[in-house]
Amino acid sequence: TGQALFDVRTIVLGGGLARAGDQLLDPLRAALRDRLTFHREPRLVPAALGDQAGCLGAALLALDTVPADEKPGAQDSAGAAGSTVPPSDERQES
């Protein structure tokens, strides 16, 4: 099992089925306990985000593909949001 390979402390169950609560988790805990040999028993917990986890994950993945300077709230090097003037690459000599 994955527990034998990774020795995890907590397993998070998500999706609509996880809303079944103890009706799902109790038999799953018992089945896991029966299959473990010398490994510690991990905690089984329902995901906090429920059904929204997939949508939120997809949105975060999409946001990661947007360049930082194009993300909402991004500011140019002068600190003004929404400025259309690019910063100058010219250096002033002293």
User: Could you list the pLDDT tens digit for every one of the 94 residues in the chain?
Assistant: 576 677 788 988 887 878 888 999 999 999 988 988 888 889 998 888 877 878 888 998 998 998 888 877 766 544 555 445 445 444 444 4
CA 86 to each of CA 62, 65, 80, 90, 93: distance values in angstroms, whole numbers, following the listed order:
26, 22, 11, 12, 20
CB 25 within 8 A of CB 13: yes
CA 25 to each of CA 4, 30, 78: distance values in angstroms, whole numbers, following the listed order:
20, 9, 54
Tokens of 59: 């949105």
Assessment of whether the complete model's pTM goes beyond 0.75: no
SS3 6: helix
Distance CA 34, CA 28 (A): 10
